[in-house]
């Protein structure tokens, strides 16, 4: 099985200096690529000077996460792509359990390893943790992380389990599956494009799997900080895009309920003294309304399947029922 480790970079020389050594040390002979999104720092010259064996694909513009990977992966030949953030430290033997899972499970198209926090290595990391899930209104959460509640890693998610979505921080995907799905939706630019990809994969009969034997450490929010309203805008907008494109539920009713809850989220930001984030949600809704005809057209042209194991509302479970740990969600 030919695997290519592919890192997307944009002005990330400092991250490459810090994290690329672990990738090189534990690549186990597999090819490493860096797709550069038209960086204006010294990333490319740094790679050429210090890592001549790492292949660099230079794009002419910053196409974001979705567009950058779509463009760069067309130029890479492999059976499996490992899409790896530039702020991830990998560990010894991280690849072996992933490759073994692909070999033994032909229906598995996408795999995520265990993702822990680089700065607090006994805790799960926000983006992906022990595998991603989504509720029926399109709000994502993870085993090991629900909203801002992060679990300590006690080995409780050292299993192998089918999940709903895999984190884009470290996502393995079969090349033939990526091509069949026509890659990421480039209108997302960044954030939640991996959830859309995984949902579309399941609508096409593929399986998304978590492999807890493999561990990586992720810094998180290295490109766009959580405090940045642009991140709020992209998360809320792209979540609505994903929901309308893929849900098997009555889309009109789901969207009305979702927009109502987003309104409460906006008010929460307002009372927290974060008016820019409220404005970001309003702008996200405006962008969603403009995109609605295209999203509905996508629904008509693609198969939508009933997706199992979706909680009705993670918002209700977390804020009303006080279920803040994944293993307690289904308990009365």
pTM for the model stands at 0.94
Is residue 222 predicted with pLDDT exceeding 60? no
Residue 278 maps to a domain: yes
Residue 162 maps to a domain: no
Residue 241 maps to a domain: yes
Is residue 167 predicted with pLDDT exceeding 80? yes
Question: Which pLDDT score, from 0 to 100, does residue 46 have?
Answer: 97
Is residue 47 predicted with pLDDT exceeding 90? yes
State the Cα–Cα distance between residues 287 and 284, nearest whole angstrom: 5
Which structural domain, as residue segments, surrounds residue 289? 229-328
Residue 37 maps to a domain: no
Find out whether 15 and 86 touch, Cβ atoms under 8 Å.
yes
Residue 212 maps to a domain: no
248-262: average pLDDT? 94
Question: Which pLDDT score, from 0 to 100, does residue 225 have?
Answer: 66
Which residue would you say has higher pLDDT here, 330 or 17?
17
Question: Which pLDDT score, from 0 to 100, does residue 332 have?
Answer: 45
Question: Which pLDDT score, from 0 to 100, does residue 310 have?
Answer: 80
Is residue 259 predicted with pLDDT exceeding 70? yes
Residue 4 maps to a domain: no
Q: How many folded domains does the chain comprise?
A: 1
Residue 266 maps to a domain: yes
The secondary structure of residue 185, as a DSSP letter, is -
290-299: average pLDDT? 96
315-319: average pLDDT? 93
Instruction: Kindly tell me the sign of the dihedral angle through the C-alpha atoms of 48, 68, 84, 231.
Output: positive
Q: Which residue has the tokens 């595998």?
A: 131
Residue 50 maps to a domain: no
């Amino acid at each position: 099985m030919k695997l290519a480790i592919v890192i997307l970079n944009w002005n990330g020389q400092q991250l490459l200096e810090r994290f690329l050594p672990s990738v090189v040390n534990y690549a186990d002979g597999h090819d490493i690529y860096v797709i550069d999104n038209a960086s204006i720092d010294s990333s490319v010259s740094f790679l050429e000077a210090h890592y001549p064996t790492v292949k660099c694909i230079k794009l002419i513009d910053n196409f974001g996460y979705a567009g950058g990977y779509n463009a760069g992966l067309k130029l890479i030949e492999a059976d499996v792509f490992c899409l790896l953030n530039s702020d991830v430290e990998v560990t010894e033997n991280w690849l072996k359990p992933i490759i073994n899972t692909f070999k033994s499970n032909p229906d598995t198209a996408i795999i995520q390893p265990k993702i822990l926090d680089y700065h607090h290595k006994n805790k799960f990391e926000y983006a992906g943790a022990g595998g991603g899930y989504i509720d029926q209104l399109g709000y994502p959460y993870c085993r090991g992380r629900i909203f801002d509640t992060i679990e300590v890693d006690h080995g409780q998610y050292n299993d192998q389990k089918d999940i709903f979505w895999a984190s884009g921080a470290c996502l393995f995907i079969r090349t033939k599956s990526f091509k069949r799905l026509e890659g990421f939706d480039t209108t997302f630019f960044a954030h939640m494009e991996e959830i859309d990809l995984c949902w579309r994969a399941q609508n096409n009969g593929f399986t998304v799997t978590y492999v807890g034997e493999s561990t990586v450490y992720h810094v998180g929010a290295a490109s766009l900080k959580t405090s940045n309203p642009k991140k709020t805008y992209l998360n809320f907008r792209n979540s609505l895009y994903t929901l309308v494109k893929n849900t098997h539920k009555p889309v009109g009713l789901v969207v009305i309920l979702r927009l109502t809850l987003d309104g409460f989220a906006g008010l929460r930001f307002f009372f927290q003294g974060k008016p820019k984030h409220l404005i970001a949600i309003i702008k996200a809704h405006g962008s969603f309304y403009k995109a609605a005809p295209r999203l509905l057209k996508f629904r008509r042209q693609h198969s939508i399947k009933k997706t199992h194991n979706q909680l009705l509302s993670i918002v209700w479970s977390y804020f009303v029922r006080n279920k803040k740990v994944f293993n307690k969600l289904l308990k009365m």
